[in-house]
Amino acid sequence: MVMKCMIEFKKDKYGFWRQSNPERFSYDESYKSNQRTTPEMSWCRLGFLASKISPDKMKCWKVCDIGSGNGVFANEASRFFKEGVKEYDLSGNSISKEELEITEWDLIFLTDVLEHFEDIDDLFKIHFRYAFISFPETPELND
């Protein structure tokens, strides 16, 4: 099924809605500066997480924010996690892809980034115990 809004979407083999013919992003500083993550949004996510897993249990965890964008979430979350939060982002200023894939993470955050994966199977190259995943706005479609 292909749905049309202003942009054409179709479901992939995993059931994710993806753009049919997406334009390539240039993940540079101008892209990064358009990110809208705020401290308030960050603490809303952290509060939800803390309601599910004891903060005392998590405070010494190895944590990575994948698709860290403007860095606001990682900065705020670093106050929550004793060892801080590593950032991985294609726009630079982050750990390497190699470090991302060889590190044994206790927790990874993927907030509004799944649509940027060209191959969602790349997610399974990352070693983690827990993943906090949120989805970006998606078209409301019936299939």
Q: Are β-strands 17-19 and 8-11 bridged in parallel, bridged antiparallel, or unpaired? A: antiparallel
Give the confidence band of 2 by pLDDT, cuts at 50, 70, 90. Answer: very low
- Report pLDDT digits (tens) over 46-98: 999 999 999 999 999 999 999 998 899 999 999 999 999 999 998 778 999 99
- How confident is the model at residue 77, as a pLDDT? 95
- How confident is the model at residue 14, as a pLDDT? 74
Q: Which residue has the higher pLDDT, 135 or 72?
A: 72
- How confident is the model at residue 69, as a pLDDT? 85
**Burial level of 123, CB count in 10 A (0-12/13-18/19+)?**
middle
Q: How far apart, in whole angstroms, are the C-alpha atoms of residue 64 and residue 134?
A: 15
DSSP H or E run through 86? strand 86-88
HSE-up (13 A, CA, CB side) for residue 95: 18
Give ∠ CA 104-25-75 in degrees, rounded to 5. 45
